Structure 1
């Protein structure tokens, strides 16, 4: 992996090693680690472990995750579990702590939850989005510390920073000096200006709170048609709550074809499904702002990852598939009235 970022601050995803196995075995008394399975995940190393009694997942964080941040991630999951959201149950280490350390990284061990699929497709989203509303309702009442509210790296870009950060990313892209790169940079700059202009008068009226940050795909696991685990709070942070929803609608709606009335109706239905789980329902202002928040989503790739990835080849690989996504977002802001009417 060459996805280190911020001048080495992020660190690389951990790899299984004899030293890591020894640290987990020593701290938790779990044997048989050599047969562990990497469950995947782009940010943390997630190892499926098994002993004679049960199965567990060892979650190994990147070096940028501090104890203060992990405490707040665990606080969030504990509160959600108590509120009826299926969340990870973390094991205590032999010394009583809820994590151990190895090679400058924090490690949790949690109970493994059996699942048969992840959130994938419209029907799954309809079923899972009221739960996201409940998650937001529960997290709204928790006081998190600074580290918990502010991830160093996340799939998110704040509205008031989107333009300046995008310009940093497009400056790097233009330096690669190909016609495709110039097309992407020009489109991203146009998108950033349009979205920033549109959001400027709305952002101060949007409720902010700590949100999950990446409620999508294999972070929401199903079994027999119901959600059995909400996991991966790596990007948890404070932002407008609709940004959590906008990420999902962006992933679901993004297409290189014009968005049909049927697809807009489905995006509205997904929004209404999320709203069902909220104690404080979406305001008209939030619904008007939602298409702009969806359109802002590809800018975290431009102004976040492309601008900050340390490895030039990794940044170029990340940029390679971005033009279609930026052009999708441009179609939203160019037809903003149509999108806002669909959501309100």
Structure 2
């Protein structure tokens, strides 16, 4: 992932015409009803049939080439081999796991999974982190010919790009000429530079591998108390595995009642990290555990250094407002780094 990026093609517009194209491309029965399930990166449509069955069609933006889609489907296959509930692809008539529509859109069709609860609470995260360890075990079995990069605007910025990227984002906020954004630019730049200095000595003994990229909320879903599905591998990419733990923990700490994080949240995070460790075939190293609080505190960087330099003005301003609300949580972690580091030590 780089800081300078071309504009991202828009999300594929859901329509009756899109449904007809998918039906024709996959030789599917015409659904009695279809529903737009949303999706940040892909357009996800559920096709409902008279017998009560359903499938999901996923239309990808123009930046997703067949090679990346093949990597995503290989990752899903690996997860299923480790008995994780990941929906299987329904092959196109030519046997491939996707089809190219007449307008060039890549589409895949997969099984539909019924669920009722997304992973947002501590109880479900406890189950989710055990599954995350198994997922990482599965993804480490894959051998890719070339590195699998994260897509543009993924919720991730490589640590080596943080200082430069955040400097660019800060410069953009200052250019708006508004005191509140200039102050935010100073704060986030100071915060991320402090983390970079502390992180440098901990780059050793890290496990770099394929990760899901967005292991949170309605991408990890439950039916009752049981894990029902691990969905949406669209942000799949190679990075240090603790980056995935940090992102999921970060979203949890942003939930109402969890910020600013205190002793309860510190102990909850410790419990989740230990659950991951106990469920993984490859235990976290001491360096991974020590670096994890810094990775947590670094999470505002993917907004400040990844999204702000790249988005159009309206989107950049909206993200800056979001950054202002989130930065205090990251600052609280860094301010109490000794407590977090001690809690996550083996």
Task: Report the TM-score, using the length of structure 1 for normalisation.
Answer: 0.94
**Aligned-residue offset at 1:295:** 0.8
Match of 2:169 in 1: 169
8 Å contact from structure 1 (residues 159, 203) kept in 2 = no
**Aligned-residue offset at 1:11:** 0.8
Q: Which residue, 259, 262, 271 being the options, matches 2:273?
A: 271
Change (3 A) 1:143 1:193: same
- Inter-partner Cα distance in structure 2 for 1:325 and 1:336: 17
Q: How does 1:211-250 map to 2 (within 5 A)?
A: 211-250=211-250
- Inter-partner Cα distance in structure 1 for 2:314 and 2:260: 32
Match of 1:302 in 2: 304
- Inter-partner Cα distance in structure 2 for 1:136 and 1:303: 27
Q: How does 1:1-344 map to 2 (within 5 A)?
A: 8-33=6-31, 35-53=33-51, 54-102=53-101, 103-146=103-146, 148-254=148-254, 257-309=259-311, 311-344=312-345
Change (3 A) 1:256 1:282: closer
Segments of structure 2 that go 5 or more residues without pairing to the other structure are none
Deviations along 1:252-290, one digit per CA (max 9) or x if unpaired, are 123785422111111101111111221011111111100
Task: Report the TM-score, using the length of structure 2 for normalisation.
Answer: 0.93
8 Å contact from structure 1 (residues 27, 95) kept in 2 = no
8 Å contact from structure 2 (residues 78, 141) kept in 1 = no
Matched positions, count: 339
- Inter-partner Cα distance in structure 1 for 2:144 and 2:87: 19
Secondary structure of the structure 2 residue equivalent to 1:192: helix
**Aligned-residue offset at 1:6:** 6.4
Moved more, 14-23 or 224-233: 14-23
Change (3 A) 1:86 1:23: same
- Inter-partner Cα distance in structure 2 for 1:94 and 1:52: 23
Secondary structure of the structure 1 residue equivalent to 2:160: coil
- Inter-partner Cα distance in structure 2 for 1:289 and 1:328: 17
- Inter-partner Cα distance in structure 1 for 2:258 and 2:49: 48
**Alignment root-mean-square deviation, CA:** 1.8
Deviations along 1:80-135, one digit per CA (max 9) or x if unpaired, are 10111111211011222211123332111111111111112000001111110011
8 Å contact from structure 2 (residues 5, 152) kept in 1 = no
Segments of structure 1 that go 5 or more residues without pairing to the other structure are none
- Inter-partner Cα distance in structure 2 for 1:324 and 1:18: 39
Secondary structure of the structure 2 residue equivalent to 1:94: coil
8 Å contact from structure 2 (residues 56, 109) kept in 1 = yes
- Inter-partner Cα distance in structure 1 for 2:277 and 2:9: 37
Secondary structure of the structure 1 residue equivalent to 2:169: helix
Moved more, 6-15 or 77-86: 6-15
- Inter-partner Cα distance in structure 1 for 2:4 and 2:17: 27
Deviations along 1:206-225, one digit per CA (max 9) or x if unpaired, are 11111111100000011121
8 Å contact from structure 1 (residues 153, 235) kept in 2 = no
Secondary structure of the structure 2 residue equivalent to 1:327: helix
Deviations along 1:19-52, one digit per CA (max 9) or x if unpaired, are 3222211112234458311112211111011234
Find runs of 4+ consecutive structure 1 residues off by over 6 angstroms.
none
Secondary structure of the structure 2 residue equivalent to 1:57: strand
